[in-house]
Structure 1
Amino acid sequence: MSEQSANTNGLRRRTLLRLSAAGGAGAALAAAQTWAAPLLARRGLLSPDGAFAATSTALGDVVFYIEKFPTSPLIVSPFSDPLPIPKALAPVPKSVYNAWRNPPGPGPGQQNSLRNEQHQLWPSRIGYPDPIVYKIDVLLRTHAFTTSQVLPIDSDGNPTVSFDSSGRTFAAGTKRTLPPSTIYGFNGTFPGPMINAEYGKPALVRFENHLDENPLNLDRQDFGSPDWSFLTHLHNGHTAPESDGNPHYSMVSGPKHPGFLPRMWVDQLYLNWPAGNDDREKQSFFWFHDHTMDHTGSNVYKGLVGLYPIYDPKNGMDMGDERQGLRLPGVRKNNPDGSFDVDYDIPLAFSDFRLDDGVTTHKDIHDVQGEFPAAKNPAKHREWWGKTFYKHFPNHGFVGDICAVNGTASPVLEVKRRKYRFRFLDASVSRIYEFKLMSSTKGAKSSVSLGYEDDELEGQYRIEDGQQCMQFTQIASDGGLLPFPIKRHSFELWPAKRREVVIDFTRYQDGTPTTKGDVIYLTNVMKMPNGRMWSNSSRFFPDPKYKVPLLKFVIGDNAPDDSRIPAALRPLPPLPSNWQSMLDNRLIFEVKRGAAGGETEWLINGKAFDPAAVAASLTNRAGRAPLAQQKKGSFNLWELRNGGGGWVHPFHLHMEEHRTVMRNGKDVTRAGDPGHPDDVSKEDLAALDPGESVILYRGFRDFVGPYVAHCHNLAHEDHAMMFGWEITP
C-alpha cells in the first residue's frame, strides 16, 4: 500500500500514530502516577509505553483496527473426541526420489526450484550417510476442531443466532455442527505430519507449495500470506541458513522474497548433528512451522505446524526403547516403510483459536492496506460463522477462547496404568499456559453455567473443585534432556517452548493407587485474557477458580512397563570459568513497543526489522555498539532486555541453544531463578517477564550466513520485532 493510500483525512497513518502516541502517552502517564501508580507498577505498566498501551485502543478502533473479538460457540459435549496421536511420516523410497525430475543432491542449484542455492554442508562431509528423504506438500484444505455439536453464545453467555455459508439465519438456542475451517496444512492436515528423527541419520524434506490449488473451492478468508507463500523453519534445528527457513535469508537469497511462492519447492536439509559435534548439545523435540515474513502468525494459526521428535540412538541412550539406555518411557516399533513409531511417547501440541460469530466486524491494518480485497473489509462475515477468526494486528495481542490439543478441542485419552512420556509444545500465537494435573468430583462444568462472561469464558469449561492429584517429572526443556529429572507441581509453557515430562498413571502423589475409570484432567491455571501477559498464575496472583481442563485422561487397564526415571539424564556443556570477563563486551538488544505503531509496532533497539541488514547492539560497558556478527566457531554473551510496558516476550534466537547466566543482574548458573527454573538448562527461547533482562551464553558453530532472532509472540514478530544477525567465516 502506498503512503498516499494510507492517508486518513490527509494525515498519513504512521504520522498519525506517532503523534497520538506522544500525546496519549504523556496524558496517560500523568494520570497513572496518581491513584493508579501502585497497580500499574505491579503489572509493569508504570512507563510511558505502558500508559500509552493502556489508552490507545480507542484510537485504533476509529482508524485502523477494531479491538473486538467473537465469542466461540460452546462445545456441548467436551472430552468425547479421542486425542489424535500422530504417526510417523514415511520416507520416500530412494528409487522414487531418484526418478524425480529434480532429485535432491549436494550440487550447485540442487537446493530449490529456483536453482540458485547449494547445500552448505552435505552429510558426507561430516562422515554421515546420505539423508533420508521426505516429501511434504503445502496444501489448502479443511479441518474440524470437534465432532460435538455446539451452541452459539454471545459474550454474556446467552444463546444467540448463527448462520450458514449462504447467510441463512438460525434462531438462538439452535445447536449446530461446526463447519470445517479452512487451513493451510503440511500435507493438508493440522497439525501436519510428524517426522521421528534420529541423531546420526540426516533428513532432507522437500517442501512443495501447492497453495494456488483449490480443489475444494474453499473460501480462504482474510488471513494467511496474501501471495500464498510459505517458508518453513525447523525450530530450533542446528541447520545452515538455506535450510533454516528464516526471512533474513529468504529476502536476500533463495527466493529473494518473504517466502517460496506457489509451484516452488525447497529442500531443507536437517543434518541431525549436534552443534560442534558435541553429544551434550543434542536435543529431543523440534517442531517445524511457517516463518513467512510479516505473516508467520497467520500462517501458523492457519495450520502450518509440524512435529519433529529427535531420538539419540548412540549407545541406545534415548532411542524410544525403554529396555535400554536411559530407559525413558517408550516402546519402539520399526515400520516396514522405514519409519518408526514409539508407543507411550506422545507429543501434545497446544494452540488456541476463536471461531467467527458472523456479527463481529473484521478490520485491522492489513485490511486497510488492502491485502485481502475479496473480504471487502471492514465487514461482518455471516458466511464464515463457526470458522477460525484471526486478527493480524490486535493492540493487545491475540488469544483464543478454545484450546486444541493436536488439533482437537477438549479431547480425551485413555491411558494404561504405567508411565508415559509427553512432549509438550506451545504452538499458540500469544498464549502462555501453566499446567497442573487435577482430579475433580463434580467434573467439567461450562463457564456459562457457572455464571461467567466475556474474557472469563475463555477455555469454555472449568473444574472449580479441581485439586492437584499428580506431579510431573520434567526430563527435558526446549534444549533437550536435563542433567537430572525435576519433580514439578506445575510448569509454564510459553509460545514455541517445549517441555517433556513423565507421568506415572499407576498412583497419585499421596501414594494411593489409581483404579480403572479414574479421571485426571490436564488443567491450565494461567489466566491470560489478552496477549499482553497473564493476569493470574501460580506465581502472580493465583485465581483459585481458574482451572480450565484441556485434556481428559481416563485410567484404563494395566500394561507392562519396563521404563525407569533415571537419576541422571544428559550433562550440560560446561560454561567457561571466566564468562564474567565477557560481560563488558556483550551484545545488548532491547525489545520494546514502538511509539509510531502500525506495521512497526514492535521494535528491537528502537528499530524495525530490516531483512537486508545486520542489527547493531546497544552501547555496551566497553563503549562499543558492535554489529550482530559472530565468527564461525566463536562463543559470546548476548543480553536481552524487556523494555517494559507490561508485556511479556518469549524471545527466540535461531540456530543454537543458549545457557542463561544472569537474570535481572543475578547469577543464575547454579540455582536458577524461582520464576524461571529452566534457566539452569539449555533453551532456545528466553522468557522475559515485564521489565526483565537476561544474559545468555551461546555458540555460533558449524555454518556461516544470515539468521534471525525475534519475539515468538507472533503478533510481535509480524510487526517488526525481529533482527538479523549472521555468522561470518
Structure 2
Amino acid sequence: MAIRDLLQLTRRQLLKIGGAFLFGAAAGDALSADDQMTSSSSCTFVGDPSQLFQSPCGGQEATELMPTSPFILHPFEQDLPVPVPLKTEALSPPYGYGLGQQSNNGELNSTHSIKPADIGYPEPDTYHIKLQVGFHCVTNSTVQPIDANGNPVTPPQAAKFVDGRLPPSSIYGFNGTFPGPMIYGRYGKPALVRFENELDPTRVHGLFGAPKGQFLTHLHNGHTAPESDGNPHATPHGYHPGQWVDNLYLNYPAGGDENEKQSFLWFHDHFEGYTGANVYRGLVGLYPIYDPDKDPGDENYGLRLPGVPNKDTGRVDYDIPLAIFDCALDDGVTPHQDFHVGCGETHPEWWGMTFFKHFPNHGFVGDIFTVNGKAFPVLHVKRRQYRFRFLDASISRVYELGLMKSASGKLQEARGTQGQWLLPDGQQCMQFVQIASEGGLLPDSTLRNSFEIWPSRRKELIVDFTHYMKGPDGTRKETKAGDVIYLVNVAKMEDGRKPDSSDPSYKVPILKLVIDDLPATETDNSAAVFDAAGNFASRKLRPLPDIDFSDAALSKLTHRSFELQRGGGSGGLNLDPVTAVLNRETQWLINDRPFQVCEPLARTQKGYAEVWRVKNGGGGWVHPMHFHQEEHRIIEKNGVRYNAVTPVGPDDVFAKEDTIALGPGEEVVIYRNFRTFPTATQAAVGTTAKYVAHCHNLAHEDHTMMFGWEIIGNSRSTTT
C-alpha cells in the first residue's frame, strides 16, 4: 500500500482494520501477555483498506458549512405519528444457542454466551426487524426555499419544484421507517430480535452512512451480553447486506435486583466510526420496558401510572413516546466537503433532502426540530392524565422543554433561524410531574416547570390535561375542548459545542397539543398527581438500590479517573508517514488517547463495584458521557455529595442513569457495578466481557471519544 494512501486513512479506520498490514504484532505491544490473550480478535484482522472511505481534499481537514433549510410554511397541520409495537414472529432459520447460530456471519462463528434458562427465565419472544432503505419527509407542508437571511430564493432545480413540497429523503430504517418499530419489553420475559440487513447504499442520497451499508445495533442501557450489545469489540466490522444477527435482550435487572429495573430504553446503530451518520439516516427504534409488579402498562394495577392496553392496536394508550431529533435539509448551493473526489461540490439534485455534516468540529445541530420524525406535528389529547416518554435522539443538540400557551394564539415566522417558528407571547401554563429518568422509575415523583434533556437521555413525565397550573391568586382553571398548548424548546444552541446563554425571546414550539373532551364512556383510573385543590404531593415510586456511600465503604473499592479532552485536530501532517497515520485522528480524547479497540482503559472484576471519576477537561464543550452494560449512580457532582436529605437533587442527578451530562469543566464521581457477564463458563476459560463508554454527542464518538473496558471473572482488578 502506498504511503499516500496510508496518509488518507484516519486513525479510527486504521485501527478498525487492525493495523496488521502495517504494524503486525506491534499493534498489541501496549498489552501484557495475559492482556493479549484476552484482547479482541479484531486486533489481528486484516481488512481491505482500498474499500474504506478516505479523508477529503487530499487528506486535509475539512470544515463544512451548514445549509439553510427550506422554510416550512404551514406548521402544525400534520398528526404526530406514534410507533406501532412490533408483533412477535417465528424465525427462519430458527434461533439457537449453538456455535455459529448467533448470526450468519461465518467469519465470526458466534454464539450466545448466556441462555434465558441460565437465569431461570423462559425462552424469549422472537422479533424480526429488517434494515431497509426507505423514504421519509419531515413535513407534508408546502415550503419556501430561502437563503441564510431568510430571503426567498429560487431552488436550484425549479422545474422540479412544482407543488411546493419537499422531495422524500432516503433513509436507513428499521423496517424502512423512522423512527423504527417499537418493542414492548417486559421484565421476566426475554426478547430475541433478529436484525437482518437488506440495505442498499446505492439507493441513498447524500453519501453518508456506513459505506457498504454495515450496521451494528445497540440496545441503549440494556443489561446485555457483549455479543448482543452492539459494540466494536464483538463485531468491529458490523453486519453487511445479506447478513443477520440475533440479539438477545434478557429483560433482566442487573444482579436480579428489583430496584435496578428500568422503564424506557431505545435501540440504535452503533457501527464504529459511522454511528452518527447511521443514526441520522434513521436507525432509531424505541423500547419501553414494563415491570409486571409496579409498572405493568395498565393504570388499574401497580403504581397506576397512565396507560390503557388497546387490544386493537397493541399500543398502551395514553403512554406516548416522543423522540426528538433535529435535522438540516440541503439547499443545493452549499458546497459539500465530504468523500467526493473533487471536494467542495454542490448537489442541486439533493435540494430539500437531509443534509449531513461529515466533519463536524463541534457537533451537528440542524435548523428543523422533529418529534417522532415529523416537524411541527399535532397531538390531540383528552382531558385526563398522560405519560410521555421523552428521548433526545439528536446527534448533538440539548433541549429544554416546557408547556406554554399563547394569549394571542399567533406564531411568528423566524426564517433562517434554528427552529423556524417562535411563540413570542408563550407563557408557561402547565407543569410536569417526572416519574422516571433513563435509569427507570425515580424513588419519588418530582414536580418540574421545565426539564433539560441531552443526547441519548430519556425522561418520563406525567401531564394532567384537566387543569392549568395555579395562577398568582392560587387557583387553577379547568381546560376545555379546543384549547391549544405547545411543547416549547427554550434552549438555544447554535453549534454542537454547548447551549447558548439564555435568550428569553427564544421559544420554539415543536409540538401542538389540542385538548379534546374525555368521552363519557371512559374513565381516567391513573393515580392523580395533583389533589382537587391543585396541590402536588410527591409519591413513592421505586426505591434506589441500597448502597453504602460512606467514605469508609468507598475507600475499599477500586478507583479510576477518566478525563474527556479536546485534542489537537488532525495533527501529524508534518511527521513521518507512520507517525502521521497514528496521530491523524486526535480531535477528541479520553486520558490522552483516542479510541483503540485493542487497548482497554479499564479491566474490572465481575461482582466488584468501582468508583470512577469523570472530568470534562475543558475547551468549552459539553459531553453526554454514556456507559454500556449497567447504569451507574452519581456519588458526587462538582463537589456536591449525595445525601439522604436530597437523594435525587434538583435535576434527578443522583438517580440511576446511563449517561452523565457533563458541562464545561464539570466533574462527576460515579459508582459502577459489573454483574452477570462474563458467565462462569466464559470466565473459566479466561474470556472477558468487553464493552465501551463514549460521548453520546455522536460527532465526538465517531471521532474517537470512546474507550474500551472489560469485565474479567477470575482475578481482582487493580487501581489504574
Where does 1:16-31 land on structure 2 (aligned, <5 Å)? Answer: none
Q: 1:596 to 1:530 in 2, by over 3 A?
A: closer
Distance in structure 1 (CA, Å) of the matches to 2:562 and 2:373? 35
Match of 1:547 in 2: 507
In structure 2, C-alpha distance between the alignment counterparts of 1:13 and 1:351, rounded to whole Å: 28
Give 1:403's aligned residue: 369
**Which AA in structure 2 matches 1:267?**
D
Match of 1:588 among 528, 544, 561: 561
**Could you list the runs of 5+ residues in structure 1 that have no partner in the other structure?**
15-58, 252-256, 537-541, 616-627
Task: Please report the TM-score for the alignment, with normalisation by the length of structure 2.
Answer: 0.83
SS in 2 for 1:298: helix
8 Å CA contact retained: 1:61, 1:67: no
Matches within 5 A, 1:467-546: 467-510=427-470, 511-536=476-501, 542-546=502-506
Other-structure match for 1:561:
524
Q: Structure 1 residue 441: deviation in Å?
A: 2.1
Aligned residues: 626
Q: Report the residue type matching 1:558 in the other structure.
A: L
Q: Return closer, same or farther for 1:513/1:328 CA change in 2, 3 Å cut-off.
A: same
Which runs of structure 2 are paired with 1:653-692 in the superposition (5 Å)?
A: 653-670=627-644, 677-692=651-666
Matched residue, 1:651: 625
SS of match in other structure, 1:162: coil
Alignment equivalent of 2:598, drawn from 608, 612, 615? 612
2:580 counterpart residue number: none
Give % identity.
54
Q: Which residue does 1:573 correspond to in 2?
A: 545
**Aligned-pair distance for 1:60?**
11
CA distance in 2, matches of 1:633, 1:340: 39
For residues 658 and 235 of structure 1, what CA distance do their matches in structure 2 show?
A: 14
Query: Post-superposition shift, 1:200?
Result: 0.6
Deviation at 1:61, TM superposition (A): 13
Asked whether the 8 Å contact 2:64–2:358 carries over to 1, the reply is no
User: How far apart, CA to CA, are the structure 1 residues paired with 2:421 and 2:348?
Assistant: 26
**Does the CA contact (< 8 Å) of 2:327 and 2:366 recur in 1?**
yes
Cα contact 2:105–2:239 (8 A) shared by 1? no
Secondary structure of the residue aligned to 1:677 is coil
1:170-249 pair list within 5 angstroms:
176-212=164-200, 218-249=203-234
* Partners of 1:415 and 1:553 within 8 A in 2: yes
Residue in structure 2 matched with residue 603 of structure 1 by the alignment:
589
Secondary structure in 2 matching 1:715: helix
Q: Partners in 1 of 2:314 and 2:648 — Cα distance?
A: 39
Contact residue 672 and residue 679 of structure 1 kept, 8 A: no
Q: Is the Cα contact below 8 Å between 1:244 and 1:268 reproduced in 2?
A: yes
Distance (Å, rounded) in 1 between the aligned partners of 2:319 and 2:457: 18
The 8 Å contact of residues 247 and 292 in structure 1, kept in 2 or not, is answered as: yes
Contact kept? 1:242, 1:268, Cα under 8 Å:
yes
Distance in 1, matches of 2:181 and 2:552, equals 43
User: Counterpart in 2 of 1:145?
Assistant: 138
- 1:209 maps to amino acid: N
CA–CA separation in structure 2 for the residues paired with 1:154 and 1:674: 46
Residue equivalent to 2:258? 279
Match of 1:393 among 344, 359, 364: 359
Aligned to 2:699: 715
Q: CA deviation at 1:672?
A: 5.8
Cα gap change, 1:673/1:521 in structure 2, threshold over 3 Å: closer, same or farther? farther
Residue 552 of structure 1 aligns to a residue in which SS? strand
Q: Deviations over 1:1-51 (max 9, x none)?
A: 97524769xxx999xxxxxxxxxxxxxxxxxxxxxxxxxxxxxxxxxxxxx
In the TM superposition, residue 248 of structure 1 has moved relative to its aligned partner by: 2.5
Alignment partner, residue 635 of structure 1: 609
Q: How does 1:64-143 map to 2 (within 5 A)?
A: 64-93=61-90, 97=91, 100=92, 102-115=93-106, 116-143=109-136
**Residue range with higher mean Cα deviation, 219-228 or 699-708:** 219-228
Mapping of 1:339-358 within 5 angstroms?
Answer: 340-358=314-332
Cα distance between partner residues in 2 of 1:65 and 1:525 = 31
2:4 aligned with 1:4, yes or no?
yes
Q: Give SS of 2:653's match.
A: helix
User: By how many angstroms is 1:74 displaced?
Assistant: 0.8
Contact 1:60 1:66 in 2 (8 A): no
| CA distance in structure 1 between the partners assigned to 2:432 and 2:3 by the alignment | 53
Q: Distance between the aligned counterparts of 1:67 and 1:120, measured in 2?
A: 44
Tell me the residue number matched to 2:22.
Answer: none
Match of 2:273 among 294, 303, 306: 294
1:41 alignment counterpart: none
Letter of the aligned partner of 2:391 in structure 1?
L
> Per-residue deviation at 1:445?
2.8
Q: How many Å separate the matches in 1 of 2:58 and 2:376?
A: 33
Measure the CA separation in 2 of the matches of 1:513 and 1:607: 57
Contact 1:297/1:392, CA 8 A, preserved across alignment: no
Contact 2:320 2:389 in 1 (8 A): yes
Say which SS state the counterpart of residue 81 (structure 2) adopts. Answer: coil
List gaps (5 residues or longer) in structure 2.
12-55, 471-475, 530-537, 571-583, 679-688, 714-720
Query: Aligned equivalents of 1:155 and 1:424: distance in 2?
Result: 31
**1:635 Cα deviation (Å)?**
0.7
Instruction: Give the whole-Å Cα distance in 1 for the aligned partners of 2:303 and 2:553.
Output: 37
Q: Which amino acid aligns with 1:402?
A: I
Secondary structure of 2:78's aligned partner: coil
Deviations 1:702-724 (A, max 9, x none): 01210000000000000000000
1:445 aligns with 2:415: no
Q: Does residue 379 of the first structure (1) align with residue 345 of the second (2)?
A: yes
CA contact (8 A) 1:592 1:602 kept: yes
CA shift for structure 1 position 436: 0.6
Q: CA deviation at 1:86?
A: 1.2
Cα 1:134–1:648 change in 2 (3 A) is same
Aligned residue in 1 for 2:533: none
Structure 1 residue 62, shift from structure 2 partner: 12
Which amino acid in the other structure matches residue 649 of structure 1? H
Deviations 1:144-190 (A, max 9, x none): 111100011111010012134xx8576xxx87210000100000000
User: Counterpart in 2 of 1:624?
Assistant: none
Task: Tell me: CA distance 1:435–1:268, structure 2 relative to 1, closer, same or farther (3 Å).
Answer: same
Question: For residue 33 of structure 2, what is the aligned residue in structure 1?
Answer: none
Pair 1:671–1:610, CA change in 2 (3 A): farther
Aligned to 2:23: none
Distance 2:10 2:136 in 1: 37
Distance in 2 separating the partners of 1:295 and 1:390: 12
- Of 669, 682, 706, the residue aligned with 1:695 is 669
Q: Identify if the C-alpha distance between structure 1 residues 61 and 649 changes in structure 2 by more than 3 Å, giving closer, same or farther.
A: farther
| Length-normalised TM-score, structure 1 | 0.82
Alpha-carbon distance in structure 1 between the residues aligned to 2:310 and 2:562? 46
Q: Deviations over 1:510-563 (max 9, x none)?
A: 121001111110000000010000013xxxxx2110000000000111242000
Other structure's SS at 1:250 match: coil
CA distance in 2, matches of 1:312, 1:532: 38
The alignment yields a C-alpha RMSD, in angstroms, of 2.3
Cα drift, residue 121 of structure 1:
1.2
